[in-house]
Amino acid sequence: MGYKVAVVGATGNVGREMLAILDERKFPADEVVALASRRSVGVEVSYGDKTLKCKALEHYDFSDVDICLMSAGGAVSTEWSPKIGAQGAVVIDNSSAWRMDPDVPLIVPEVNAAAAAGFTKKNIIANPNCSTAQLVVALKPLHDHAKIKRVVVSTYQSVSGAGKDAMDELFSQTKAVYTNDELVNKKFPKRIAFNLIPQIDVFMEDGFTKEEWKMMAETKKILDPKIKLTATCVRVPVFVSHSEAVNIEFENPITADEAREILRKAPGCLVIDKHEPGGYVTPYEAAGEDATYISRIREDATVENGLVLWCVSDNLRKGAALNAIQIAEVLINRKLITAKKKAA
């Protein structure tokens, strides 16, 4: 007997990817239901070779659902996750609504799978921000070896991180440049086609953006509260995959060769680091893949015990859908949940 899984936000970028990954990984589901807003009732989405018709979240009864994979934004999650959790389904949420709640574990399975057991207080587990997920996968094995003191990260984040409408905006603006039509900015504060935007999410009082703050706060919660991190997050005209240039300062010595060897053996990491033209991974190549790719590993002689590296991953997969499903697999493999039908 398998599990009943609900995917909320099934018409969105992350929701569609979740349905694809549930099928690819042969997730032990007896039944998968696709839910979205009222606007999408009857809209068809693919789940492997099956087609599911979307139902409305607001009319759905979760009493026989085991796992709810939620990717419908912060406002929907704030309202619905506690109600769904109260009906006995474990919610794995992709929004930022619950990430810093002390009663909600924030999980990247390669880094802190054991903390998932803390979900029982609210029946909610949070998935981190996409740029944090890939970063901590790369940092964890290096931290275990040489203890990270400080990280300086600059991100190059794709438009799919801002949802399906943002992908449409890059496409239509790019077309408008070639056809000499007017460029319309709706999702982004400035034009994104053939441009870069050094602002992701809203500004905070100290001048950092919320996305930059999330990277700092979430890295502390997932990996180690003692790590100091500062970030500059930039939106780039790339459809899928986030890239990061990462400077790391360690407490103990570590060479580039040692880091390469450690990362080669680390779960979720794939090192491609040849000192030749093209001997590194670009966002285009990482799209559709599960790994966190690490390239350009080198020693930073401007600080004691410093390394620099380039880290790329598919934000819709490791940054969202894949990580959420890996969390669900942790719940099952560690016997933290039982299928309701089986228990009945």
Ligand X SMILES: NC(=O)c1ccc[n+]([C@@H]2O[C@H](COP(=O)([O-])OP(=O)(O)OC[C@H]3O[C@@H](n4cnc5c(N)ncnc54)[C@H](OP(=O)(O)O)[C@@H]3O)[C@@H](O)[C@H]2O)c1
Output the known binding site for NADP(+). Answer: 11-14, 39-40, 160-161, 315
Q: Using CB under 6 A, pick the residue from 20, 92, 111, 130 that binds ligand X.
A: 130
54 tagged catalytic = no
The residue (of 247 and 282) whose beta carbon lies closer to ligand X is: 282
- Is residue 106 involved in binding ligand X (CB under 6 A)? no
Distance in angstroms (rounded) separating the CA atoms of residues 188 and 200: 9
Q: Please list, in sequence order, all residues whose beta carbon lies within 8 angstroms of the beta carbon of residue 344, skipping any fewer than 6 positions away.
A: none
The residue (of 149 and 242) whose beta carbon lies closer to ligand X is: 242
Residues 29-68: x where in contact with ligand X by CB under 6 A, - otherwise, as a string: -------xx-xx----------------x-----------
Cβ of 37: how many Cβ atoms within 10 Å? 17
Burial 83-111 (b: 16+ CB within 10 A, else e): ebbeeebbbbbbbbbbbeeeebbbbbbbb
- Is residue 76 involved in binding ligand X (CB under 6 A)? yes
- Is residue 315 involved in binding ligand X (CB under 6 A)? yes
For ligand X (CB under 6 A), the number of binding residues is 29
Subset of residues 80 to 99 that bind ligand X, contact rule: CB under 6 A? 94-95
- Is residue 160 involved in binding ligand X (CB under 6 A)? yes
In the set 130, 233, 269, 311, the catalytic residue is 130
- Is residue 163 involved in binding ligand X (CB under 6 A)? yes
Q: Tokens for 10, please give them.
A: 């099934």
Greatest CA separation found in the chain?
Answer: 63
- Is residue 283 involved in binding ligand X (CB under 6 A)? no
User: β-strand 90-93 against 67-70: which pairing, if any?
Assistant: parallel
Amino acid in position 163: G
Q: How far is the CB of 241 from ligand X (least distance, A)?
A: 10
User: β-strand 124-126 against 90-93: which pairing, if any?
Assistant: parallel
Residue nearest ligand X (C-beta atom): 12
In the set 54, 242, 269, 311, the catalytic residue is 242
Q: Using CB under 6 A, pick the residue from 5, 6, 11, 312 that binds ligand X.
A: 11
The residue (of 116 and 320) whose beta carbon lies closer to ligand X is: 320
Torsion sign, CA atoms 89, 90, 93, 98: positive
Q: Where are the alpha helices (DSSP H) in the chain?
A: 13-24, 74-86, 109-112, 130-146, 164-179, 210-222, 256-265, 283-286, 322-333, 340-343
Binding site per annotation, positions for substrate: 157, 235
Binding site per annotation, positions: 11-14, 39-40, 99, 157, 160-161, 235, 315
Q: Using CB under 6 A, pick the residue from 71, 134, 155, 219 that binds ligand X.
A: 71
- Is residue 161 involved in binding ligand X (CB under 6 A)? yes
Q: Tokens for 18, please give them.
A: 């979740």
Amino acid in position 68: C
**End-to-end Cα distance, the chain:** 11
275 tagged catalytic = no
Which sequence positions are flagged as catalytic? 130, 242
Residues that bind ligand X (CB under 6 A): 8-15, 36-37, 39-40, 57, 71-74, 76, 94-95, 130, 160-161, 163-164, 315-316, 319-320
